[in-house]
Structure 1
């Protein structure tokens, strides 16, 4: 999977952080299209892998130190047109809070049953499949 193609916008790496039967969602101060609640995410920087970017963004936005377990999938997001790479992550240390208050205004640990309330248009298939198997344990 290519994180960055010359002449194009950098890919966005999203951290799918699960902990104690829930997934971490963040609410951006500025909506991206119809997106309000989403996963901690940001641009993959030059020389950085999608996994490294997901871990960095989680730390910068929420204060959590996470380990990237695996890339779940990649797509061009239907609402933003940006290449998205979704990375499954596990909490290593810290507790989640709004650290980057210029970008975020809220965070929430969301159960599997609550996801449609936060993301009514549905999740990317591989992300939903990961959460179905991880959060139902």
Structure 2
């Protein structure tokens, strides 16, 4: 099976693209997923769960923050992992972000637009990049 073909037996991954105070929240996994190290809080969509709810739940489970009113940015088969990814934007968070799930994560950062390539040295999915360019462009 090609890396470009989604694995239909596995649920999609919902990623929370959380922006606040001029930064986007990135987390660093203890174990890299493909070439990924820094990424958005994310996890599998559970049965009966919407992508927006899954992204909000994962953000809370991984970092302790609460987000709501997510906006779907788009979906794709990730070129590095082969998993179907659904990206959901949130423009504010309640609570102080910290590494809550220290089995999965070892760090997190609120990253300014000018610092994005330091954390993620390859292009983001087009709709995600356009969203970050728009929301973080003045920072």
State TM-score, norm by structure 1. 0.93
Tell me by how many angstroms 1:60 deviates.
0.2
Q: Is the 8 A contact 1:54 1:68 kept in 2?
A: no
Q: What does residue 106 of structure 2 align with?
A: 105
The Cα RMSD (Å) is 1.3
Q: Which runs of 5+ in 2 are unaligned?
A: 1-5
Q: What does residue 117 of structure 1 align with?
A: 118
Q: What does residue 16 of structure 2 align with?
A: 15
Q: Which runs of 4+ in 1 moved over 3 A?
A: none
C-alpha distance in structure 1 between counterparts of 2:66 and 2:60, whole Å: 6
Q: Which runs of 5+ in 1 are unaligned?
A: none
Taking the TM superposition and a 5 Å limit, the aligned residue runs for 1:1-137 are 8-137=9-138
C-alpha distance in structure 1 between counterparts of 2:91 and 2:105, whole Å: 21
Q: Which has the higher strand share?
A: 1
Worse-superposed segment, 69-78 or 87-96: 87-96
Tell me by how many angstroms 1:90 deviates.
2.8
State TM-score, norm by structure 2. 0.91
Q: Is the 8 A contact 1:13 1:43 kept in 2?
A: yes
Taking a change above 3 Å as real, the CA distance of residues 68 and 41 of structure 1, as seen in their structure-2 partners, is farther
